[in-house]
Amino acid sequence: MFSGSIPALITPFTPDGGIDADAFQAFIDWQIAEGSRGVVPVGTTGETPTLSHAEHKRVVELAVEAAAGRVPVIAGAGSNDTAAALEFTGHAARVGAAAALVVVPYYNKPTQEMLYRHFRSIHDAVEIPIIIYNVPARTVTDITVETMARLALLPRIVGIKDASNDLARPLRMRTEVGPDFCQLSGEDATAMAFAAQGGVGCISVTANAAPALCARQWAAWEAGDLAAMAALRDRLGPLHRALFLESSPAPVKYACSLLGKAGPAVRPPLYEITDPTKRAVEAAMVHAGLL
């Protein structure tokens, strides 16, 4: 259903701090032209914690409009408030998103049974495919393979974005849930190892700044050209690291600013990256052949 390189999109801001709709839609056009197979607005990289609900919905609408059916829009729709997640997921369905990306609720620390009921309630309320986003480093709670196997029995729970960095997990998921369940990596640095364990794509931070390289890497893997995949993996490796030297998405927004695609501004409590990190990002982009 979904595969290859799918950027978790940045949200460009205007000089006065608002949503830069023109820059955002031009960015999506560029991503599609460079080979990205889908786009994910309002994920973590889109700074959803500091977007208002109205801004969140507007960004999804802008993404659907810009994509215009050329690639699927997987709209970020999660919250640690089930009612808010239902609101966002319902909105994504109404405006034409292809799927919703729904994060494991953060801060509340729900049990596995509570997680099941949270996702089941969203599934039952909307007619849109749902990808569950597991990112324990940000949510504290880790959804287990056993809970995912229960949820995968529901027809509209179609996949997972896994940012646990547990490379044994995709193989366990494949064994317990089946080969048709859509497993997407949420960790650029280990995405190709994830592929070898059963993954089919990556919802990527790095693809914001290097969409063509990320897309070509996945195409090489799918074609069985391991030498080409490895060469691209090695070109991208330093960039994966540099983009997480400080809190994401501040480094990747700086990287995109170097390409003239968006300004570097992020919303507090995030701030523009320090000079040493800027130099590291620049060096990694030179290594990748992007500058």
Using alpha carbons, select from 99, 25, 85, 14 the residue that is nearest to residue 53: 85
Q: Is the sign of the CA dihedral 172, 123, 58, 50 positive or negative?
A: negative
Quickly count: other Cβ atoms within 10 Å of residue 84's Cβ: 14
Q: Could you tell me the two tokens for 149?
A: 């196997």
Question: What's the CA dihedral at 277, 281, 286, 291 to 10 degrees?
Answer: -120
Establish whether 161 is a catalytic residue. yes
Given 161, 253, 261, 278, the catalytic residue: 161
Establish whether 254 is a catalytic residue. no
Residue indicated by tokens 């700044």: 209
Contacts of 286 (CB under 8 A, 6+ apart): none
Given 133, 254, 261, 278, the catalytic residue: 133
The answer to whether 194 and 170 have CB atoms below 8 angstroms apart is: yes
Euclidean distance between CA atoms 131 and 183, whole angstroms: 9
Catalytic residues: 133, 161
